[in-house]
Amino acid sequence: MRTASAVWRGSVGSAQTSTIYRPKEINWIQLAVKVALGFMLLGYAIAPFTVTAQNLGTSPQFGQAVQGQQATTVEGTVLNIVNWGCNVIAPVIAVACLGVAGWHFKSGRGYLGWGVTGVALMVISGLGRMAEGFITQAQGIQ
């Protein structure tokens, strides 16, 4: 009695081997860009914790530098960067990503990655605005 092999190939000839191309030299520019983007992502993830750690006094400060600080200080700069990122940068890039997703969908190419990125950026923007609204409405809570 004969048993079938685990992998059946329709042809009698030997299987073709595939080779993986790996460059012999390291692309240092690509590596530096990946490291820089990693640090940016890490900084963007840590920024909310540093913003909440500020001493703002009795009321939150939005649309201006932190109480007792100027916009040129670290606290004022972080506050301005978070506001700028949630109110300007994320929505603009989200609209661009959704536009590219529509273009790729029309062309018959892969569009899901662009669409998910655009929606995720809109969610990040919305969560930032929602947190800002919660903080400004909860001034009397101690």
Evaluate if residue 23 carries a pLDDT over 70: yes
Do 23 and 102 meet the contact criterion of CB atoms below 8 Å apart? no
CA distance 122 to 119: 5
Mean pLDDT, the chain, whole residue set: 75
Look-up: residue for tokens 């009397």?
140
- Separation CA 2–CA 17 (nearest Å): 27
The 10s digit of each residue's pLDDT in 35-81 is 999 988 888 887 766 655 555 555 555 555 544 555 566 666 666 77
> Which residue would you say has higher pLDDT here, 123 or 18?
123
Question: What percent of the chain lies above the pLDDT cut of 70?
Answer: 61
pTM for this one?
Answer: 0.46
